[in-house]
Every structure is written in C-alpha cells, then in structure tokens.
C-alpha cells in the first residue's frame, strides 16, 4: 500500500511546520474540507460559499509547498492529480460569464467541493510525510 493512501490519524497531525514557516493545523484543515464535502439539502448561500472557498483555498496554498517537496517518483497518483487539479482550480474565475443566480451558486459549490477534495489529498500526503519522517528520525 502506498503511504499516501494510508488513513491519517483521527484529528490529523497538528502543528507541523509548512515550507513557508507557517504551522499546518491538520485538524482545522480537515474541518474545512469535511464541511465543504458534507451533503446538504440545499446549495449554500453565495456568502457561505465564498467564505468556505476562501478557507479551503488558503489551506491548499499552505499545503502545496509541503507536498511539492516529495520527489516526483514517490508521489502517489492521488497527489499528482491533486496538484494538477489545484493548478487549474486556483486560477482566477470570471463570474461575468452570462450565468445568473442559482447556476452561478451551483458552479461555485462544485468548485468549492473540488477544492476540498484536493485539500484532503494534500493534507493526507503531508501527514504521511510527517509520520514517515518521525519514524525515520526516532
């Protein structure tokens, strides 16, 4: 089994340092993407979508440098896909595409959920990398 495919411990690894010196709070990041992926009966409001998208996007931007340090030959297919998806999903979006109301909100919701899935893969890979470094440094 690939390390990236291993389940991370409940609550995640908190306090690990990211490449830019900021701390990675695995519990908070997991809460952000789980909230975005939770099944709802209705599409969230535009304000809720923007706030959740901003949180998950910030999490992804924090995790990308951590996972990019993994040599290409050791990256799982999920990580390769998540990094590729992140590259496309983090491009600025033009909301003036002629769609209105519910269709725009639905597009934002789909976008948020895609970001959340990318975030989940990046966090799991980061935590697996930390576990492996803790094992080898013990």
Predicted confidence (pLDDT) per residue in 33-71, tens digit: 898 888 677 888 889 888 998 999 999 999 999 898 899
Strand partners, 16: 24
DSSP string, 71-138: -GGG--HHHHHHHHHHHHHTS---S-SS--HHHHHHHHHHHHHHHHHHHHHHHHHHHHHHHHHHHHH-
pTM, rounded to two decimals: 0.63
């Amino acid at each position: 089994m690939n390390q990236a495919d291993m389940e991370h411990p409940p609550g995640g690894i908190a306090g690990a340092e990211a490449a830019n010196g900021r701390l990675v709070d695995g519990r908070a990041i997991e809460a952000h993407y789980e909230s975005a992926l939770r099944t709802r009966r209705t599409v969230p409001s535009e304000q809720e979508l923007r706030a959740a998208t901003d949180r998950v996007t910030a999490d992804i931007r924090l995790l990308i440098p951590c996972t990019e340090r993994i040599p290409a030959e050791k990256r799982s297919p999920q990580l390769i896909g998540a990094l590729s998806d992140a590259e496309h999903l983090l491009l600025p979006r033009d909301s003036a595409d002629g769609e209105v109301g519910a269709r725009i909100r639905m597009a934002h919701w789909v976008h948020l959920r895609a970001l959340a899935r990318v975030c989940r893969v990046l966090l799991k890979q980061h935590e697996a990398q930390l576990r492996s470094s803790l094992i080898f440094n013990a």
